[in-house]
Chain A
């Protein structure tokens, strides 16, 4: 009897084993999307709570890691939907290269603002595919969509980002 089968049969020890086996990956995946350790911890707990709730209907031969990643992704996207956009932090420039620094900071603020302005779904694919450089297949699996759909979302997101950055004078 494997761990998943024992968990489905109601063994708490098996649930702890599953948790220890997958928690690092689940936490790591969520933190890549939400970019906040505290929130990622809360959502990791929530993901495993959902797994616990589903124990009676769990397929013991199923892919637990993939299921958890899918739940984790949905929880992270829901969190991005609820969260208000953060104000970009800008420091006061000082020193001889102040003008250059101001320009760089403005460019960064524009990129950050354009990135934060994306819808949670598009932001998630940008975060995972472009920033974290996760493989398309893995991202597609975690979102429950095809690889082509992920590529389409990346295409749409980059088009929006380029347009916004061009309006701000950051993109040629």
Chain B
């Protein structure tokens, strides 16, 4: 028996031992319809998307920041109104 034959024989023996201990799954089918789960996954992801901040809010924030930079004395008044 040459080296290659011995190697193949060992590989077959290992395959047999493995298949005996961890049997092949073969053709398996899911017991339920997974499509509703895929749809739910898509819906969950779309709900998790951060809400868009309207441009007007950004403009207001910018104006407030600019006003505070130009007139720092307005800060107490702003804090009072918050």
Contact = CB atoms under 8 A, between A and B. Distances in A.
Q: Which range holds the interface residue count of chain A?
A: 35 or more
Interface in B21-48: 21-32, 34-35, 37-38, 41-42, 45
Interface residues of B, number: 27
A19 B32 contact: no
Nearest to B42: A52
A162 interface: yes
B67 interface: no
A44 interface: yes
A115 B29 contact: no
Given A19-B38, A41-B34, A52-B42, A28 B20 contact: no
Judged by DSSP, the binding face of B is helix
Contacts, number: 87
B38 A130 contact: no
Nearest to A45: B37
A158 B35 contact: no
B9 to A, nearest CB: 12
Contact of A108 (B20, B27, B29): B20
Given A49-B42, A52-B42, A132-B24, A41 B37 contact: yes
Contact of A44 (B18, B21, B34): B34
B75 interface: no
Contacts of B66: none
A50 B46 CA distance: 14
B45 A49 contact: yes
B35 A111 contact: no
A138 interface: no
A107 B13 CA distance: 14
Contact of B14 (A16, A107, A130, A133): A130
Interface of A: 16, 19-20, 23-24, 27-28, 31-32, 35, 37, 40-41, 44-46, 48-49, 52, 107-108, 111-112, 115, 126-127, 130-133, 158, 161-162, 165, 170
